[in-house]
Amino acid sequence: MAEAVRAAVELFVNPTRLSMLVLGSAVGLLIGVLPGMGGIVAVAILLPFMIKLDPFSALAMATGALAVVHTSDTITSVLIGAPGSAAAVPTMMEGHPMARRGEAARALSAAYLSSLVGGILGAVGLTLSIPIARPLVLSFGSPELFLLTVLGVSFAGSLLGKEPLKGLAAGLLGLLLGTVGPAPAAAEVRFAFGQVYLTDGIDLGLVALGIFGVAEVVSLLARGGAVAQRLELGRGWWEGVLDVWRHRWLVLRGALIGMWAGVLPAIGATAGTLMAYGHAVATSRDRSRFGKGDVRGIIAPEAANNAVEAGDLVPTLLFGVPGSAPSAMILGALLAYGILPGPRIVTEHLDLIYTVVWSFALANVLGAGVMFAASPLLARLTHVPFPRIAPPIVLAMVLASFQKTQHFGDLVTLVVLGVVGYALKVTGWPRGPLLIGFVLSNPLERYYFLTVKLYPRPEEWLLRPGVVVIGLLVLAPFAWSAVRWLRTRGRAQAEVRGQRPGPGAVATAAVLGVFAYAWWQATGFLPDAALMPVSVAALGTVLSALQLVRELRGQASPLRDEDEGEAAEEAVGPRVLRAVGYLASLAVYVLATWFLGIRWASVLWSLWFLRGVARLSWPTAAVYAAVLVAALELVASVLGLYLPAGRLRL
């Protein structure tokens, strides 16, 4: 082992390999800033260069990109409210409200430092786990993996807010949305409605961009003004550092959750961060500030997201089972070099493993340092009137959403999900549980199917020690939430009683209709394909029906704006109408993209927006639009992205 360490040190300090690490980290930081891209795009860009390098340089480059991509995606999540990746949604949920209060520097500082600590803990955990992870992970069967996935879904119980029925129904809506496409347990495509586009399901990045990104951009435009009215940078940076120190044990727990989410197959960074966020909410005595800008909701998921990437490398290196799409690309690079991942890699290529671990740790330090240095300038974007910076954000989201399948359906789905996300936002439906349900829908169904097929009798797997322990952990937050709800039920009902049924009741009725229709449709599927959607739709129908009854009896929350807290319906109404107008303009932009192509559509839409909404002069708007399209071309050519050509092929 000492010889392997000595050899790894000599390889690691080689200037060429260190330069490849820096290059990979730079690419990861750049990709993380762009909304909707993520680690898979960073590794995909580097892959053609990796295969021309030696294995150590190639892995250092890829590891550097993966280590920092979740550090830089904090920028747009906090400042703009558009998640840099699906894993950044919890940070957006808490960091963006802090930015609107003038605490952007504090949110960014806490996020960067938590990511740094989480990444280093992940690297240390990867080092220590390699000798012991193999027997431990191999001892987990499908029942334990199924219960672990259920545990992740159960954390949605911590995000229910004042109306538990809405929270539970939102989580089930996410599970149902995750069943669109091929069934993992049967040769059948579900809820495709004859559309080829839906036969592969809906991409996670699209769901995150639509439900959160588009909804937040539209909300900011409807509100008007800048993101924040005041920003105290100096004090805010140090306050974020102190926040991480005050909640140091939460940082540790978040990193541990992230590492295990990475180690377990099919969980990944998004589920890991959402589980860490749910854990932070569930273990906090005061939950009232979550969703309104609580720094604890930033610290836990940011510590988890970088640790997840380290955990992903454990199944990739030890078992040849990639824990994520970027890890799958790294696995392909290893195979191209003739290095076979598996238990023997620990004895035959231990120096390579140490190179990966040290590259991961150093890249985290570099990434955090760069973002700390650059963020004071970037944070000043919160002072700029938002309509002036909205066009490049919208263009970036549209471009990112098109990359999954290069199908126009991606853009239509983005608009539809944006409408759904904003409707949920203003009618009091929590979006966090929906995303958790969507992320874990596929592994939940797959592990459950394997469990019932391998263990025909329920007692064969329900009484396994691991299942019992995890099952108690699953039930604990629900029991505690039920007790808290019973204690405050009278007060909560008094707060909402007397409200007349309004848009909230219409939204609930729409959700009820979706569940009822899905239940009816799912009864015609093959038995193995129908098991999950029928169960989810039936339970969702019952819960949403109960919620609708409550609202019709005058126990509904009023129409409100999450950005401003509770507000009277007449005060929010005009803002909602403006938001509807912006959503309609986005739909027109997508339609123009289909007909004219993204280049001409972007020029025309940007000119209209910059003149009509941002109120810029014609010369300034024309130059701005030209620069945007030129940047679009440059980014597409450098990153190898596809640009929609349009029916006219202009």
What pLDDT score does 203 carry? 82
Mean of the per-residue pLDDT values of the chain: 77
Q: Which residue has the higher pLDDT, 456 or 649?
A: 456
Q: Which residue has the higher pLDDT, 351 or 622?
A: 622
With 0-12 / 13-18 / 19 or more C-beta atoms within 10 angstroms meaning exposed / middle / buried, residue 575 is buried
Q: What is the mean pLDDT of residues 604-614?
A: 92
What pLDDT score does 518 carry? 95
With 0-12 / 13-18 / 19 or more C-beta atoms within 10 angstroms meaning exposed / middle / buried, residue 583 is buried
Token pair in block for residue 101: 């209060």
Number of H helices and E strands in the chain, helices first, is: 28, 2
Nearest to 204 by CA among 30, 92, 40: 40
* 385: β partners: 226
Looking at the predicted structure, is the pLDDT value of residue 227 above 90? Answer: no
**DSSP for residue 321:** -
Q: Residue 8 — very low, low, confident or very high, per pLDDT cuts 50/70/90? A: low
Token pair in block for residue 133: 């992870």
pTM score, two decimals? 0.73
Q: What percent of the chain has pLDDT over 70?
A: 73
* 565: β partners: 561
Question: For residue 181, what is the enclosing H or E element?
Answer: strand 181-182
What pLDDT score does 569 carry? 47
> What is the C-alpha to C-alpha distance for residues 384 and 379, in angstroms, rounded to an integer?
10
Nearest to 81 by CA among 204, 290, 226, 202: 226
Selection from 63-67, 176-180, 271-275 with the highest mean pLDDT? 176-180
Q: Which residue has the tokens 């586009």?
A: 197
Q: What is the mean pLDDT of residues 145-157?
A: 68
**DSSP for residue 501:** P
> What is the C-alpha to C-alpha distance for residues 440 and 97, in angstroms, rounded to an integer?
27
pLDDT in tens, 334-345: 766 777 666 566
Looking at the predicted structure, is the pLDDT value of residue 414 above 50? Answer: yes
Q: What is the mean pLDDT of residues 432-460?
A: 81
HSE (CB half, 13 Å, CA atoms) of 381? Answer: 20
Radius of gyration of the chain (CA): 24
Spatial contact of 105 and 240, defined as CB atoms under 8 Å apart? yes
Please state, as a whole number, how many other Cβ atoms lie within 10 Å of the Cβ of residue 141.
Answer: 17
> What is the C-alpha to C-alpha distance for residues 432 and 371, in angstroms, rounded to an integer?
27
Q: What does residue 190 show for φ and ψ, rounded to 5 degrees?
A: -110, 140
Q: What is the mean pLDDT of residues 268-286?
A: 76
pLDDT in tens, 345-366: 666 666 677 777 777 778 878 8
In the three-class reduction of DSSP (H, G, I as helix; E, B as strand; rest coil), residue 561 is classed as strand
